[in-house]
Each structure stands twice: as structure tokens, then as C-alpha cells.
Amino acid sequence: MNSSLVSTALPGALAVIMFGLGLSLTVADFARVLRAPKAVCVALACQVVVLPTVAFFLVTAFDLPPLSAVGMMLLAASPGGATANLFSHLFRGDVALNVSLTAVNSVLCVVSIPVVTNLAIGHFAPAQADQLGLQFGKTLQVVVIVLGPVLIGMLVRRRAPDFAARMDRPVRIASIALLAGLVIATMVADRAQLGDYFFEVGAIAATFCVISLVTGFVVPRAFGISPPQAIASSMEIGVHNSAIAIAIAVSVLDEPRVAVPAAVYAVLMTPLAALVGAILSRRIAGRQTVVGAAEQADR
């Protein structure tokens, strides 16, 4: 991966993405967690515990090279992003729950990412632990690059709500465009290795994406959580904020190879999330039709 391209463009792109996320959040979004504690706890358990476990077994089964394995684990620990809210809206999920999950995840990931990444480095790349490990200084960098722009965005919304409302949509569009442009530019710059990247991690990235999306729906439903909330959970868990994983790999770990799984995932997750979301929403609609017909017949 072209480290000079990514390292130059990424900090500004990530700042815009996380600032835009901050513009969409308020303190009330965190407080709303108390209204749906069961849905939030199940979704967070999937995000923090289930996904890294799934990623670990997939990485082991696919026998990925050490740096790619660390990159997959870093991706698994990364939170959902604003794009998850869009998918949730498209497929009739509980968008308010998405916003609250994104808010909590954005704070929680400053702990979960260093823990999961350090464990992955120790297991898959122990010889590079001193070089790659997220010690205190690097962990502090993670906190700054992830939470700093979010807090600034929230402060702007609090102090200038009209400005934040006007800028919300343009910044969301810019965030999506910046992430897409960054991934595409990086792939084009390294087009000679593009096939190698997808051959190495494409299958595992696609598998992990589908498992994440399905897990995010099936597990909440097993706990009796409503279909709209399960859709929200599915999108939050399956649509990762790849920009965070790429930024940490390049800017904090200083190892572009660790960013490859997140870059490939960013390309694959949009069509896969759209496909899985369409299937799930049709399944829910079909069941509702059957239930409605049965109730009508009983009358």
C-alpha cells in the first residue's frame, strides 16, 4: 500500500469524517441508551466480544500472514460509522438506536481497539510487538484521532445548532466521498498489487462482513429484540468505520500492510450490506404479511 499517499491524505479525511459524526451527536444520544438497555447491551456484546472472536477464528482458518491477521483484528475492533445509520434508514431499522450505538461505540473503541490490537500483535506477530504495540503514547494517539474531532463536532452543534444542522448533510456526503476517494486512490496507486490484496484478504473480508451483518441481526432477535432494532444492530456491527482502522494502521502503528484488510473491507462492505439488508427487510416484511393474514383470518 502506498504509505505516502495514505499518510498525507488520511489525517485530514479522518478528521472530517469524525467531525461530521460529532455534528450528528448530542449528549441525549448517550442518555437514550437507558431507554433500550437490552438492545444496546446485546449489540455492544456482539461488537466487542463476538466479532473479535469470529475474526480470530477466520484469520486462523485462512492462515493469513501476520500483518494481515493483525489488520483483520484491528478492523474487527473498529466501531460502526455514520454509513451504518444510512443503511439502517434504507432498510427500516431503528436509526435512533444506531445513533446511540455509534455514540457509545466511538467512546468504547478507544479502549477496545488497543486491547484487541495488542493481543493480536502478541499472538500473530510477537517478533514485532515492540515496534507495533500500542503502548501508552500510541494509545493516547488513538484517543486523540478518534475522539478529538467527535468532541469538537459535538461542541459546535451545542454552541451553533443552526450551523450544525446546515452542515450535517454536506459533511456526511463529504465523509463518504473522502473515504471512498481515499480507498480508490490508494488502490489505484498500488494497482500492481491490487490483485494480490484481494486474493490475500478478499475472501476473509467478505466472509467476515456477511457474518457480522447476520450476527448483528440474529443474536438480538434471539434475545427477543424487535426487528427494527435488530436491523439497526446488524448495520452498526457489519458496517465498520474502516477509516479508523486505516488511520491507526498507517498513522499510529506506522505499518501500511496492517491497513490492507480495512481498505479491502471498505470496498466490499457497501454491496454486501445492501444485499444482506435487502434480504433481511424482505424477510421481515414477509413475516409481517403472514402474521397479518393470520390475524385477519382469526377475525
**Span 200-256, pLDDT tens digits:** 899 999 999 999 999 999 999 999 999 999 999 999 999 988 888 888 888 788 788
Closest to 68 in 3D by CA, of 178, 204, 169, 188: 204
Number of structural domains found in the chain: 1
User: How many CB atoms are located within 10 Å of the residue 158 CB?
Assistant: 11
Q: Which domain holds residue 75?
A: 3-298
pLDDT value at 199 more than 50: yes
Q: By the 8 A CB rule, do 133 and 118 touch? A: yes
CATH number at residue 101: 1.20.1530.20
Convert the pLDDT of each residue in 1-21 to its tens digit. Answer: 555 655 666 767 777 878 887
The pLDDT, as a whole number, for residue 74 is 94
The pLDDT, as a whole number, for residue 294 is 47
Q: Which of 57-66, 133-142, 166-175 has the highest mean pLDDT?
A: 57-66
The pLDDT, as a whole number, for residue 70 is 94
In whole angstroms, what is the distance from residue 137 CA to residue 45 CA? 28
Q: Compute the CA torsion angle 152, 154, 160, 162 (nearest 10 deg).
A: 130
Q: What percent of the chain has pLDDT over 90?
A: 31
The pLDDT, as a whole number, for residue 298 is 53
